[in-house]
Amino acid sequence: MSDDQHDGDKITAKSEPPVVNRRKQQERRLVLRSLMLAAGVIGVSAMGYIPVARSWNPRLRPPGALEESEFLASCIKCGQCVQVCPVEAIKLADIMDGFGVGVPYVDARAQACDFSCDGLQCILACPTGALSHSLNYPAEIRMGFARLDRPDLCLAMLGKGFQGKIRGPEFDGLFRYSEIDRWKPQRVHDQEFDLEVCDLCVRHCPIEIRIAQCEAGEPPSGDVNQCPPRHAIELQAEDRGDGRMRMRPVVLDGCVGCGACEMVCPTEPAAIVIDIESTVERV
Amino acid sequence: MNFFKESLLQLLGRAPSKPKADDFTPEVKQIHFYKRGEKVSLEEIRAEHMGHHSHKWRNRRWATLIIVNLLFVVSYYFDVQLLEGALTASRFVGFHMADLNSALQVMLAFKHVVLNLLIGTVTIFILWLLLGGRSFCSWVCPYHLVAEFAEKIHLWLVQRKLIKNHEFHRGVRTAFYVSFALLALASGYTVFETISPTGILSRAIIYGATLALGWVAFLLLFEIFISQRAWCRYVCPIGMTYGVVGLFSPLRVVYNVESCKHEGECRKVCLVPHVLDPVIKGRATDVNVPIGADCTRCGLCIDTCPTGSLRYEFKGLNKVL
């Protein structure tokens, strides 16, 4: 473009001022601004998909939880399950869980579900069926599946016993010791143990406890339906020919993944942990 | 029927339409005619407002809002099972209640409705149908309360000419509503719940502080420095849902044109000033005009009106309030 032409443009602009409809201009700005607002808010909300898609925080869900994506869809994020849990095992996820914000989970190492309510109160409390109402008894649950993650740390595998308080006096996890109080869960740190071979995971397994109670003719809540059909965990002798008495905690078909074993495992980190991935298929 | 249509269109974001000549009743025409000849002195109006400082409805509303939210906290901490859960879904002495918008999100995402949720949704629908729909916003929603404080700061800054208010097109809320509904339906996630300040705040009050409060803080800062009451006015689908419920509600604010001086103080304090369009001189089509569905029934206009031209009404039960 030459300078002459440029000047010419200027002259015409001066002689004939462009008709600017200020109102229209303002309206256009308003619409544009509103579109930006819409894009911004929808964008922020869509970001909630990232932690879900990337599984930043794989969570152990409360008893009866549907398959993960269905669970996120159906949970109304009210926390009624949190309120009814007698051992306060259920927590609500924060914003770093994206779409999972406000959705309940269990941090088994901190506080496992020990089914001390017998009645699956969290399921009963759930208003949307995100915790499936079709489950009635602890043995029907499959939250996850226990796995001996660190056999090298496991006291039983080392042929060691256990004396004292589980995880020290600082640990304030709760567990229902029925023989002490049927209704009131006790602090785990109030219990003293003196075991020749550590079997804390087995003796704290809610399924094994139920089986023992049923065999003694005293099913939980006096309901024979509470009796689990399959064992969940047992210690099996393992001989490596070094003269040591080794016991391996073997997780069995009846494991419901409640995480009680992970909570009470005295090693740091826990030798036995819950696998979340094996929720759906039976192992 | 005309009232419903106008009310709904305003809710969806259209600007209030000016009434046509034949929309006016003869009585109101007469009032408008006399008012045109009447001289109103500014001093007189000022004097009238000076002697009028009522916070009756605001105080009642804040008390109600705080009590309802505290009821959740108290029920949880003292395990009295009075009002369990959070604002998204709860149980009042055992009866299921589900926030309509949260329930809608779940239904769209999950594509399956269990009976308890249906019962809770219907209960809440009937409750807010009786109580005015968007009255949920101003009388229960905890975000509304903190946003009211943020608004005071915003107005103070505007008055000092330190900032400027930026308005948006109100129709954008309808766009949000449709978008969030479609997102829930298509993605299978309750997308809106992720950013709902109502849910985040309610859970934080009951279960303890979370990082998600950072988002609420961001929204408040946006409202303080950029746009007055932006979330409630332009975004919140919860407000939209309850607005639709309020469309059919017998509990509403009614405007009486007779002694109104049309000074417009009520529109200044209103969260949704477009609903108060009939108070503009010559706009009221009848002597008594009900205020539209987008009104949150907060009562600020009633408090601020020195002539008593605005009042609550429960249609059918004459002047119970």
Check the CA dihedral B109-B114-B117-B119 and report its sign: positive
The pTM is what?
Answer: 0.90
| Three-class DSSP category at B132 | coil
CA distance B289 to chain A (A): 30
- Average of per-residue pLDDT values in chain B: 93
Q: Which residue has the higher pLDDT, A14 or B3?
A: B3
pLDDT at B121 over 70: yes
Q: What is the predicted pLDDT for the residue at B46? A: 77
Tens-digit pLDDT profile for residues B200-211: 999 999 999 999
Expressed as residue numbers, the domain containing B96 is 58-244
Adjacent-strand bridge partners of A148: A272
User: Please, what is the angle between helix B171-187 and helix B237-246, to 10°?
Assistant: 110
**Closest by Cα among B229, B227, B285, B228 to B255:** B285
Q: What average pLDDT does the segment B295-312 reach?
A: 94
**Number of domain units in chain B:** 1
B316 falls within a domain? no
CB-closest option in B169, B179, B203 to A42: B179
Q: What average pLDDT does the segment A26-45 reach?
A: 94
Tens-digit pLDDT profile for residues A145-203: 999 999 999 999 999 999 999 998 899 999 999 889 888 999 999 999 999 999 999 99
Kindly list the residues from chain A whose CB atom is less than 8 angstroms away from the CB atom of residue B73: none
Interface test with B, best of A26, A74, A105 (most B CBs within 10 A): A74
The DSSP secondary structure of B140-197, one letter per residue, reads T-HHHHHHHHHHHHHHHHHHTTSS------THHHHHHHHHHHHHHHHHSS-HHHHH-H
Instruction: State the pLDDT confidence band at A282, using cuts at 50, 70 and 90.
Output: very low
Q: What is the predicted pLDDT for the residue at A15? A: 60
CA distance B184 to chain A (A): 8
Q: What is the predicted pLDDT for the residue at A244? A: 77
Instruction: State the pLDDT confidence band at A4, using cuts at 50, 70 and 90.
Output: very low
Kindly list the residues from chain A whose CB atom is less than 8 angstroms away from the CB atom of residue B104: none
- Whether the CB-CB separation of A167 and A266 falls below 8 Å is answered with yes
Instruction: State the pLDDT confidence band at A118, using cuts at 50, 70 and 90.
Output: confident
Alpha carbon B160 to its chain centroid, in Å, reads 27
Please tell me the distance from the alpha carbon of residue A186 to that of residue A200, in angstroms, as a whole number.
Answer: 16
B240 falls within a domain? yes
CA distance B120 to chain A (A): 8
Q: What is the predicted pLDDT for the residue at A240? A: 78
Q: What is the predicted pLDDT for the residue at B204? A: 97
Here the ipTM equals 0.90
Please tell me the distance from the alpha carbon of residue A133 to that of residue A7, in angstroms, as a whole number.
Answer: 80
Instruction: State the pLDDT confidence band at B24, using cuts at 50, 70 and 90.
Output: very high
Q: What is the predicted pLDDT for the residue at A1? A: 39
CB contact (8 A) between residue B194 and residue A48: yes
CB contact (8 A) between residue B200 and residue A102: yes
Count CB neighbours of A87 within 10 A: 20
Instruction: State the pLDDT confidence band at B42, using cuts at 50, 70 and 90.
Output: confident
Q: What is the predicted pLDDT for the residue at A242? A: 76
Tens-digit pLDDT profile for residues A250-259: 999 999 999 9
CB contact (8 A) between residue B90 and residue A80: yes
Adjacent-strand bridge partners of A146: A274
CB contact (8 A) between residue B176 and residue A41: yes
Please tell me the distance from the alpha carbon of residue B121 to that of residue B102, in angstroms, as a whole number.
Answer: 9
pLDDT at A69 over 70: yes
- Average of per-residue pLDDT values in chain A: 89
Q: Does A42 touch chain B (CB under 8 A)?
A: yes
CA distance A148 to chain B (A): 33
Output the 3-class SS for chain A: CCHHHHHHHHHHHHHCCCCCCHHHHHHHHHHHHHHHHHHHHHHHHHCCHHHHHCCCCCCECCCCECCHHHHHHHCCCCCHHHHHCCCCCEEECCHHHHHHCCCEEECCCCCCCCCCCCCCHHHHHCCCCCECCCCCCHHHCCCCEEEECCCCCCCCCCCCCEEECCCCCCCCCEECCCCCCCCCCEEHHHCCEEECCCCHHHHCCHHHHHHHHHHCCCCHHHCHHHCCCCCCEEEEEECCCCCCCEEEEEECCCCCCCCHHHHHCCCCCCCEEEECHHHCCCC
Residue B119 contacts by C-beta under 8 Å, 6 or more apart in sequence? Answer: B96
B307 falls within a domain? no
B293 falls within a domain? no
B259 falls within a domain? no
B20 falls within a domain? no
Check the CA dihedral B58-B207-B195-B93 and report its sign: negative
CA distance B164 to chain A (A): 14
Please tell me the distance from the alpha carbon of residue B100 to that of residue B137, in angstroms, as a whole number.
Answer: 12
Q: Which residue of A has its CA nearest to B181?
A: A42
Share of chain B above pLDDT 90, in %: 84
CB contact (8 A) between residue B116 and residue A96: no
Name the token pair of B39. Answer: 């001289």
CA distance B169 to chain A (A): 6
CB contact (8 A) between residue A99 and residue B194: yes
Q: What is the predicted pLDDT for the residue at B315? A: 87
CB-closest option in B120, B169, B207 to A30: B169
CB contact (8 A) between residue A101 and residue B194: yes
Instruction: State the pLDDT confidence band at A278, using cuts at 50, 70 and 90.
Output: low
Q: Which amino acid is at A247?
A: M
Q: What average pLDDT does the segment B228-237 reach?
A: 96
B228 falls within a domain? yes
Instruction: State the pLDDT confidence band at A8, using cuts at 50, 70 and 90.
Output: very low
B80 falls within a domain? yes
Q: What is the predicted pLDDT for the residue at B171? A: 95
Q: Does A13 touch chain B (CB under 8 A)?
A: no
Count CB neighbours of B274 within 10 A: 18
Q: Does A133 touch chain B (CB under 8 A)?
A: yes
Please tell me the distance from the alpha carbon of residue A219 to that of residue A215, in angstroms, as a whole number.
Answer: 8
Share of chain B above pLDDT 70, in %: 98
CB contact (8 A) between residue A30 and residue B90: no
Please tell me the distance from the alpha carbon of residue A39 to that of residue A47, in angstroms, as a whole number.
Answer: 12
Q: What average pLDDT does the segment A87-96 reach?
A: 95
